[in-house]
Structure 1
């Protein structure tokens, strides 16, 4: 029976194999630890907010001040719409405001005169009441004297006539005072019409101002296929403006990595076009959900697949990363990037 003989060469190979396996395990643990504390993903791309630029007033474009793929600055003139019809509207609205203001001035003067007349009629009522009271007192004094023969019948009849005349005068004065008060015209309706006309004027001035279209932010003009002479309609985009003031990286991280991510955490981004130049940013937000492959609804009923996938792959969720002063020459929507989260 052959005996096992110890070989130094074989022992060294076994030791080397064990050491290699141990090193692989240690290296794997280090990699897993690094990935846990510094998650990274190559499933990421650049994006920015876009504005489908449409005018707020309609008209023929008389000048186009930008070209396709041109960088523009905030408040820079992009294009100008024919302003002549809007100038006429401003003039018409201004004329309406001036007319109503003149009517209010005239009406205010008339109201002052009418109020003075109404006050005079009110004084007449007071005088008529005084005359009636005096006539009644005189009649009440003469009636007993007439029955005793101390006053003639003519004096008594005259006192009665004066009382009736005073009553008629008072009634006439009351009617005149009421008519005078009702004749006083209020300027409130004209003032309401003036407020409405002033609102129309402000809107006309706004439309005139909007015929000169300016950039709302720094950006890049794209998809421009319209030239001067084209008719621009309200709400119909003339071109697309990419907001270059804020650039974002959308990084799809596995759900097992989301626990290590927090809003405000610093991030390094490497563009595929220039991978040796890091771009710094911070985590802006973590997506709340994506459409699942299973559990969807079709025709009002849940859709469940008949097959079962035994290999469960971690779902990926978009993480929005705000870039800090990124280089303009690398910023393109859809560009591929690698995202590494800093510890």
Structure 2
């Protein structure tokens, strides 16, 4: 019994020494590095190209929407008024184009012809008058002044006849080719203006361009929505990724295309991620001096990684923990 007791004491002392030594060894071993990131996802803002008062919002937070689903409508009487103006301008331009293509009315052609005949008759009369006065002048009955006046009146009547004939021909011929083309181009301009306003009018009924979940409703019925201001935001949880801030001395664990396992406390499970993007952060990002005497620093990089197998119930903002 006396021999067993010293042996037991020695064994206990040895165990204590081993335990203390192992504790010191563990204390001086480098501790694992844990990086914490969070889940993010593609977010879309749904807005309108025109300003107006929100008439109705057809979705609520948490609703799942698909591309083409109605999101909200706007009330904008100004667009309705502009549409009426554009349609009126289109009708006016079309009427002017028809006038240019159809030419003068028959009544206008007849009137121009009558004016030409009238000028022609007057010229013939003045020609005969001049011939009579010229004969009298040759007989010495009247002065040369009278003959010159008659000649001038005859020539003026001849010019009037020619001008009236050209007006008659122009009335028959109608508008010039350039005028017709200009009228047609004005019609196209008016049609374009109508199409533009109609496009704005259609943009008062906003539909989703994306599949996703409604995350925020920033404006409600009765409020004024400025042009381009987001009214509803949609998150596509089918396109999530995790973001980490990693010092450059730890980037060897996160090369593009590498896979790693990360723990999600909210889901109480680990899932596999694949590194898809690495980008340096700005100088304002956190850093630490690696050698105060040398004076150089380690930059921080932003690492993005997508889950290989998309888990259920994954939400934006969930923490992701990686142990290096």
Decide: shared fold, TM above 0.5: yes
The match for 1:285 is 277
The match for 2:313 is 329
Give the 5 Å matches for 1:111-260.
Answer: 176=166, 180=170, 184-185=175-176, 186-224=179-217, 226-259=219-252
TM-score (norm 2): 0.60
| Offset of residue 88 of structure 1 | 4.6
Contact 1:41 1:252 in 2 (8 A): no
Separation in 2, partners of 1:293, 1:229? 42
Give the 5 Å matches for 1:84-95.
Answer: 85-95=78-88
User: How big is each residue's C-alpha offset from its partner over 1:138-173, in whole Å with a ceiling of 9 and x where there is no partner?
Assistant: xxxxxxxxxxxxxxxxxxxxxxxxxxx9xx99xx59
Separation in 2, partners of 1:67, 1:309? 58
The match for 1:65 is 58
The match for 2:44 is 51
SS at match of 1:205: helix
Give the 5 Å matches for 1:29-48.
Answer: 42-48=35-41
Separation in 2, partners of 1:262, 1:326? 21
Report the number of matched residues.
Answer: 252
Question: Structure 1 205/324 Cα, relative in aligned 2: closer, same or farther at 3 Å?
Answer: farther
The match for 2:140 is none
Separation in 1, partners of 2:84, 2:307? 49
Contact 2:254 2:303 in 1 (8 A): no
Question: Structure 1 216/257 Cα, relative in aligned 2: closer, same or farther at 3 Å?
Answer: same
Question: Structure 1 62/293 Cα, relative in aligned 2: closer, same or farther at 3 Å?
Answer: closer
User: How big is each residue's C-alpha offset from its partner over 1:95-131, in whole Å with a ceiling of 9 and x where there is no partner?
Assistant: 32233223213312229x9xxxxxxxxxxxxxxxxxx
User: How big is each residue's C-alpha offset from its partner over 1:8-61, in whole Å with a ceiling of 9 and x where there is no partner?
Assistant: x89xx69x97xx98xx89xx8xx99xx9xxxx8522111123334432222222
SS at match of 1:290: coil
Question: Structure 1 294/82 Cα, relative in aligned 2: closer, same or farther at 3 Å?
Answer: closer
| Offset of residue 273 of structure 1 | 0.3
| Offset of residue 241 of structure 1 | 3.0
Question: Structure 1 293/103 Cα, relative in aligned 2: closer, same or farther at 3 Å?
Answer: closer
Question: Structure 1 267/86 Cα, relative in aligned 2: closer, same or farther at 3 Å?
Answer: farther
Contact 1:57 1:207 in 2 (8 A): yes
Separation in 2, partners of 1:180, 1:204? 39
Mark the runs of 5 or more structure 1 residues left unpaired by the alignment: 1-6, 114-164, 296-304
TM-score (norm 1): 0.57
Separation in 1, partners of 2:281, 2:219? 39
| Offset of residue 337 of structure 1 | 0.5
Q: How large is the RMSD of aligned CA atoms in angstroms?
A: 4.8
Separation in 1, partners of 2:253, 2:219? 48
User: How big is each residue's C-alpha offset from its partner over 1:183-232, in whole Å with a ceiling of 9 and x where there is no partner?
Assistant: 74312322332232222112111111111112221233334253322222
Contact 2:57 2:221 in 1 (8 A): yes
Give the 5 Å matches for 1:21-36.
Answer: none
